[in-house]
Structure 1
């Protein structure tokens, strides 16, 4: 699938982002940033006061087949980057209306597709094409390394998804990096560099100390849509097995899992050019201990909502007191990550977390 753009994707997104920001068509929120280490892994911790002000009606009632307002059905011209492929558009690239990281953009299906359904070949192919073309232009090189994207997908009520119209999200890795978090690398990159194979399996990769079940597979160079879907379904089946406390190598239970239609679980998916990674989710939120005095008038003090950015090794909190509580005791973050996910199981189906 070719995007068919008249200029490089990174240049186009940057230009549209600046125009939308200056025109007031998106709301960019500054964050305070620090680096904490949990389970031996550096995490970016962002304090974003705007999280407490973001409209609370973005997630529709689960009984509704469609949202009352669907921002991807007819995207605002000011936020629309492009429709593609040119000859018969199936997807659109749209700027995130409430970004906290510059050039955060979204890949949505042009026609209605449910966020809770499994991804289709065309979704995965389009996502990979965005990853592939982002750093292609020599003019988008920063220092010795080309610009890169981190892609993630939230699916299911416990995944942190905020819109039911199917969409994947992209964050430029260079925009996530800041001087305050020198030494940070996206979690999926840490896994790629230091992955181990699951016990008894030479297939799925994982990080031993990460406190929630997760599975990763390498991507070949320029994979076909069939290859991308095969890898995705393998990871999905492993994630379902983890939610059932089974060995991920055993395959699906009977009846066999469908490879299309509604997902059987909530999960986060992440992808770079080299790796695809999945983590099943038990809960969207987790709570950290809070001093009642420090909590003040915070709404839901200590309750953190996490989405697929945890697979990038970054997360946000809505209040300074929560930011301070995590920075002073990083073990709280380890517990949060454990509580929103599932335990990893060994080759005999026993929990190893």
Structure 2
């Protein structure tokens, strides 16, 4: 599948899913808060989105063993990415053309990422610029137990504003703007002339970054974390908690929070984010540097 084919497949799938009503975008409003060199975008759900949001956040009425990916909703199908992964539209997208890269058979979201997972990542990023991210477990912000990575297009994340120039490829280091445990790695594009080579390289870099962060597998599973990667870089962040909390207020944080996008459910929570500062929210759900 070449670049135009995947790009057009996403567009066609989006048009189709809107027509059938399968796609339920989260209508939000937003403000910007700049801190640490990142222009964070704080989204809050508009009144028109509350019904759709309930479907996303409320699991009371869902069967205990429900899995939206087995079988997946046909109206959300985008393309076959690889022998092991299929691309689906995010049913409740915050961003236009947000897709999921889902394993064809069930694997747990906290299970170790494999070369096959990174093959799907490499195939996607080779055709579409943007950001691939992964929420490792509920504590990492995952809403589904079935393994799935996610892709969002350029313009939906502000993290790249603080990333260093390329160099020291493959060597984990810290970003000065992030005062919490993490590992940033610049990716050498010469290491992957095809998706298989790129997948092996990214897989190796990922586990190098995990080691740097103190993330180690136990019985085939990794502790909670977030992964963010573009074509030229990778970021791994171990997670200590799912929510930032103040009193009775809770704000769930996922990988996109570290990319500069924070979602709150009520307008009242915006002032809490403004008062605390976005970086304080990130520090609260991670580990000390």
- Same fold by TM (over 0.5)? yes
Instruction: Show the counterpart of 2:286.
Output: 341
CA contact (8 A) 1:20 1:79 kept: yes
2:140–2:253 CA contact under 8 A, matched in 1: yes
- Structure 1 residue 269 corresponds to structure 2 residue 227: yes
Q: Check the 8 A contact 1:151/1:272 in 2, yes or no.
A: yes
Alpha-carbon deviations, 1:38-60, whole Å to 9, x = none?
33432111112446523445599
Work out whether residues 58 and 162 of structure 1, in 8 Å CA contact, stay in contact via their aligned partners in 2: no
Q: Which residue of 1 aligns with 2:99?
A: 105
Name which of 304, 319, 327 aligns with 2:251.
304
Q: 1:195 to 1:342 in 2, by over 3 A?
A: farther
Matched, 1:166 2:138: no
- Shift, 1:192, TM fit: 2.5
Query: Is contact 1:92–1:109 with CA below 8 Å preserved after alignment?
Result: yes
Question: 1:148-170: CA deviations, max 9, x gaps?
Answer: 21110011231000111110001
Under a length normalisation based on structure 2, what TM-score does the superposition of the two structures give? 0.86
Find out whether 1:229 has 2:203 as its counterpart.
Answer: yes
Distance 1:54 1:205 in 2: 39
Name the counterpart of 2:20.
23
Measure the CA separation in 2 of the matches of 1:58 and 1:111: 23
Distance in 1, matches of 2:180 and 2:24, equals 33
Q: Structure 1's 228 and 60: CA in aligned 2 closer, same or farther, altered over 3 A?
A: farther
CA distance, structure 2, for counterparts of residue 56 and residue 260 of structure 1: 30
Which residue in the other structure is 1:349 paired with?
A: none
The aligned counterpart of 2:72 is 75
What secondary structure sits across from 2:141 in the alignment? coil
Partner secondary structure for residue 22 of structure 1: helix
Report what 1:322 is aligned to. 269
Structure 1: distance between partners of 2:179 and 2:200: 32
Report the structure, 1 or 2, having the larger helix content.
Answer: 2
Unaligned runs of 5+ in 1: 135-147, 177-184, 242-256, 290-299, 345-353
Q: After TM superposition, give the deviation of residue 271 of structure 1 in Å.
A: 0.6
Distance in 1, Cα, partners of 2:288 & 2:117: 29
Aligned counterpart, 1:151 = 132
Match of 2:180, SS state, is: coil
C-alpha contact 2:131 2:229 (8 A) present in aligned 1: yes
Deviation at 1:310, TM superposition (A): 1.7
Q: Which has the larger radius of gyration?
A: 1
Shift of the 31–55 alpha-carbon distance from structure 1 to 2, 3 Å rule, reads closer
CA contact (8 A) 1:118 1:260 kept: no
Q: What's the CA shift string for 1:33-81, capped at 9, x where partnerless?
A: 21102334321111124465234455999xxxx9612111221110011
The count of corresponding residues between Structure 1 and Structure 2 is 278
Residues 258 and 160 (structure 1 numbering): CA distance in 2 closer, same or farther, change over 3 Å? closer
Q: Alpha carbon RMSD of aligned pairs, Å?
A: 2.8
* 1:43 equivalenced with 2:40 (yes/no): yes
Partner Cα separation in structure 1 for residue 259 and residue 131 of structure 2: 7
Deviation string 1:230-273 (CA, Å, 9 cap, x unpaired) is: 101111112226xxxxxxxxxxxxxxx4598211x100000100
Once the two structures are superposed, residues 183-227 of structure 1 have per-residue CA deviations (whole angstroms, 9 ceiling, x without a partner) of xx621x134336999xxxx93222223232111111121622221
Give yes or no for contact 2:118–2:200 (8 Å, CA) kept in 1: no
